């Protein structure tokens, strides 16, 4: 049962990240199949790192349907880009937010299944959620979202802490997932639409201390 | 027999990538042994990622002769750079093309040996062929070749599809290798000398749709 | 006994790298928890790559105390940054030098324990020492220290050669460690304070040849 949830969730997460990678690659005028390379790295980068760190078979090699989902999402995005009016950068950020929220959850869960400590599991969730998008931004020579002013890693961490809290309270899996997903996406939406910024460590905090 | 082909091919591929890394590092005025670091990452990066993804022992740890070949190629390039007139950027691109063509083939073949699906194998070939050069470009803060306007990942993919087609037709290994190598290098030469560009997904395609 | 030395050394190395990552992240005005992400990548990046290459369990998953040390060092640095006058960039470079010297040694030793050849072991030491800082610089879009004009990879390599020499002379572990550490840190201090540059392969060497 659980593994079905996670298989389905992973497919969705991979597709959202693939779309975000395609949109950024297109935005940066990447030629030819280069956009497929960026989008594929975005889609499978985080999960690949997670599986390597946990010393498990890499998910898209063990089950090629993740790779098919990635390529289908990429080609569907390319066709949409050609036939639709220009998509704003916001669409890319929304796709990234959903992908990050999903991979965060899967990273935590996979680490817990391997018997990892909760601090390790939350770190693994953030790694899985952030790494694909980070590689996308580095390859496209953009300022990584994780380095930006708006809530990003904080949103990911908040989702992870929500998951950990619900998990500790022995809430059923589906609600752990929904809770963590909702918190991460909500915070990212606030960051994207209202420019929410964490001011925990920023330089401006000097003035107040 | 086959494994001898691949051992020999890998040594050649590693050497070509090492030369391309040395040339770019030199071009960017990297000081001291930094150029050795860039060139080593370029030479062994793609194959290392391939072995990690397939969960095999990393090739240069299992067989240090790859590392010796890398270092010999680097020091030979450094000596040549000192004593020859300045090499153009084209030389770097040619070295990269040969390295990419070879690693593409080896990546596909190693994945097939592990029993991977053909789509996974072609993805693995592209990963192996592109990743070393991508790390070189990221570390040197250049626009990655894979993001450029000219045919690059398309050339790699075409080589992979050629290999897959010949392999499916049960052509002998040596001809699969020669065919895939020729297609990739031919397309890259066209891209380098005549500026061939794929216009499959570029923005200009908006005008036609 | 030996494994206790290395456990203790790793904790120290992780903490120094975590501080260097926090300082650079702060310098670049990274918002919110982004600075924690950069600092964590810096602290555990090199050792993680080492363990993946050697196909060993990743150190911070197997023993979460490394992760606790990382987070404690990060939060302590953040508090110090808020309450102390601005730290110069030199502090970051000093932290990085100590981290690099320590991880270099641990990388070599872990590779030798796995039965690797000395050339592989020295390569592994450099990988472990340099990779975390390299990821920090790439994510922060700085020129990687390893690409800079001053001694960096050369300092790391010199430490590695010192270790190899003392190890071959069957000097006891503690002196191998002290010797290699002293050589690397000494060369980096010279580079930071006096701008020592290797002129082995730089373009200026054309004039003399």
**Is the Cβ–Cβ distance between A182 and A163 less than 8 Å?**
no
Residue B172 class from Cβ within 10 Å (0-12 exposed, 13-18 middle, 19+ buried)? exposed
Please tell me which of the candidates A130, A138, A202 has its beta carbon nearest to residue C37.
A130
Q: Best of C55, C136, C147, C160 to disrupt the B interface by mutation (most B CBs within 10 Å)?
A: C147
User: What pLDDT score was predicted for residue C209?
Assistant: 37
Interchain proximity B153–A60, CB inside 8 Å: no
CA gap C175, C5 in Å, rounded? 12
What is the chain B residue with the closest CA to C135?
A: B139
Size of chain A in residues = 209
User: What pLDDT score was predicted for residue C50?
Assistant: 94
User: What pLDDT score was predicted for residue B146?
Assistant: 86
Please tell me which of the candidates A119, A144, A199 has its beta carbon nearest to residue C67.
A119
SS3 A142: coil
User: What pLDDT score was predicted for residue C111?
Assistant: 92
Mean pLDDT score, A56-73? 93
Give the residue from B110, B52, B44 showing the smallest Cα distance to B73: B44
Q: How far is B17 from chain C (nearest CA, A)?
A: 17
User: What pLDDT score was predicted for residue B199?
Assistant: 65
Interchain proximity C116–B33, CB inside 8 Å: no
The rounded mean pLDDT for chain A is 87
Q: Distances in Å between the alpha carbon of A85 and those of A88, A93, B38, C162?
A: 9, 17, 42, 62
User: What pLDDT score was predicted for residue C18?
Assistant: 95
User: What pLDDT score was predicted for residue B1?
Assistant: 46
Per-residue pLDDT of chain C (209 residues; tens, 9 = 90+): 467 778 888 999 999 999 999 989 888 877 678 889 999 999 999 999 999 999 999 999 999 999 999 999 999 998 888 777 767 788 888 999 999 999 999 999 999 998 888 999 999 999 999 999 999 999 988 888 888 878 888 899 999 999 999 999 988 888 999 999 999 999 999 888 887 777 655 444 444 33
User: What pLDDT score was predicted for residue A199?
Assistant: 65
Query: Which chains touch A (3+ CB pairs under 8 A)?
Result: B, C
* pLDDT tens profile C22-71: 989 888 877 678 889 999 999 999 999 999 999 999 999 999 999 999 99
Q: How far is C139 from chain A (nearest CA, A)?
A: 7
Q: How far is B84 from chain A (nearest CA, A)?
A: 33
User: What pLDDT score was predicted for residue C90?
Assistant: 85
User: What pLDDT score was predicted for residue B2?
Assistant: 65
Give the residue from B63, B57, B60, B15 showing the smallest Cα distance to B39: B15
Interchain proximity B61–C126, CB inside 8 Å: no
Cα angle: C39, vertex C44, C47; to 5 degrees: 150
User: What pLDDT score was predicted for residue A143?
Assistant: 87
* pLDDT tens profile A4-41: 778 888 999 999 999 999 988 888 877 678 889 999 99
Interchain proximity A57–B53, CB inside 8 Å: no
User: What pLDDT score was predicted for residue B204?
Assistant: 44
Please tell me which of the candidates B53, B116, B138 has its beta carbon nearest to residue A138.
B138
Query: C interface toward A at CB cutoff 8 Å?
Result: 25-26, 28-38, 40, 48, 52, 55, 57-58, 60-61, 64, 67-68, 71, 78, 81-83, 138-141
Please tell me which of the candidates C32, C37, C55 has its beta carbon nearest to residue A198.
C32
User: What pLDDT score was predicted for residue C201?
Assistant: 53
A chain contacts of residue B187, beta-carbon cutoff 8 Å: none
Please tell me which of the candidates B31, B78, B141 has its beta carbon nearest to residue C150.
B31
C chain contacts of residue B30, beta-carbon cutoff 8 Å: 147
pLDDT-derived band of residue A206, with 50, 70 and 90 as boundaries? Answer: very low
Query: Burial code of B8-42, b = ≥16 C-beta within 10 A, e = fewer?
Result: ebbbebbbbbbbbbbbbbbbbebbbbbbbbbbbbb
DSSP string, C179-197: HHHHHHHHHHHHHHHH---
Res. A86: pLDDT tops 80:
no
Query: Burial code of A69-102, b = ≥16 C-beta within 10 A, e = fewer?
Result: bbbebbeebbeebeeeeebeeeebbbbbbbbbbb
Q: Best of C146, C187, C188, C208 to disrupt the B interface by mutation (most B CBs within 10 Å)?
A: C146
User: What pLDDT score was predicted for residue B81?
Assistant: 83
Per-residue pLDDT of chain B (209 residues; tens, 9 = 90+): 467 778 888 999 999 999 999 988 888 877 678 889 999 999 999 999 999 999 999 999 999 999 999 999 999 998 888 777 767 788 888 999 999 999 999 999 999 998 888 999 999 999 999 999 999 999 988 888 888 878 888 899 999 999 999 999 988 888 999 999 999 999 999 888 887 777 655 444 444 33
ipTM for this prediction: 0.87
Give the residue from A104, A98, A78 showing the smallest Cα distance to A15: A98
Give residues with Cβ within 8 angstroms of A16, minimum separation 6: A73, A95, A96, A98, A99, A102
Longest distance between any two alpha carbons in chain C, whole Å: 53
Please tell me which of the candidates C116, C147, C205 has its beta carbon nearest to residue B28.
C147
A chain contacts of residue C14, beta-carbon cutoff 8 Å: none
Q: What percent of chain A has pLDDT over 70?
A: 91
Interchain proximity C61–A52, CB inside 8 Å: no
SS3 C30: coil
Query: Which chains touch B (3+ CB pairs under 8 A)?
Result: A, C
User: What pLDDT score was predicted for residue C206?
Assistant: 44
pLDDT-derived band of residue A47, with 50, 70 and 90 as boundaries? Answer: very high
Give the residue from B93, B85, B82 showing the smallest Cα distance to B151: B93
Q: Best of A56, A142, A147 to disrupt the C interface by mutation (most C CBs within 10 Å)?
A: A147
Q: Best of C201, C203, C204 to disrupt the B interface by mutation (most B CBs within 10 Å)?
A: C201
Query: A interface toward B at CB cutoff 8 Å?
Result: 25-26, 28-38, 40, 48, 52, 55, 57-58, 60-61, 64, 67-68, 71, 78, 81-83, 138-141
Q: How far is A82 from chain B (nearest CA, A)?
A: 6
Secondary structure (H, E, C), chain B: CHHHHHHHHHHHHHHHHHHHHHHHHHHCCCCCCHHHHHHHHHHHHHHHHHHHHCCCCCHHHHCCHHHHHHHHHHHHHHHHHHHCCCCCHHHHHHHHHHHHHHHHHHHHHHHHHCCCCHHHHHHHHHHHHHHHHHHHHHHCCCCCHHHCCCCCHHHHHHHHHHHHHHHHCCCCHHHHHHHHHHHHHHHHHHHHHHCCCCCCCCCCHHHHC
Please tell me which of the candidates A157, A203, A209 has its beta carbon nearest to residue C33.
A157
What is the chain C residue with the closest CA to A114?
A: C61
Size of interface B-C (CB pairs under 8 A): 87
Interchain proximity B34–C134, CB inside 8 Å: no
CA gap C50, C63 in Å, rounded? 15
Interchain proximity C26–A203, CB inside 8 Å: yes
């Amino acid at each position: 049962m659980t593994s079905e949830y996670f298989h389905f969730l992973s497919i969705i997460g991979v597709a959202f990240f693939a779309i975000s990678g395609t949109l950024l690659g297109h935005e940066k005028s990447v030629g030819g199949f280069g956009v497929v390379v960026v989008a594929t790295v975005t889609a499978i980068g985080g999960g690949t790192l997670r599986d390597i760190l946990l010393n498990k078979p890499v998910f898209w090699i063990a089950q090629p349907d993740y790779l098919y989902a990635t390529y289908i999402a990429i080609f569907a995005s390319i066709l949409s880009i050609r036939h639709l009016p220009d998509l704003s950068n916001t669409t890319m950020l929304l796709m990234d937010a959903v992908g990050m929220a999903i991979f965060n959850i899967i990273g935590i869960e996979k680490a817990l299944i391997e018997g990892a400590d909760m601090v390790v599991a939350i770190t693994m969730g953030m790694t899985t959620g952030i790494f694909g998008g980070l590689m996308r931004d580095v390859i496209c020579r953009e300022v990584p979202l994780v380095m930006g002013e708006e809530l990003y890693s904080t949103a990911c961490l908040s989702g992870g802490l929500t998951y950990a809290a619900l998990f500790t309270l022995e809430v059923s899996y589906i609600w752990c997932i929904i809770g963590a997903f909702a918190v991460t996406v909500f915070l990212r939406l606030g960051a994207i639409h209202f420019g929410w910024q964490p001011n925990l460590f920023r330089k401006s905090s000097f003035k107040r201390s």
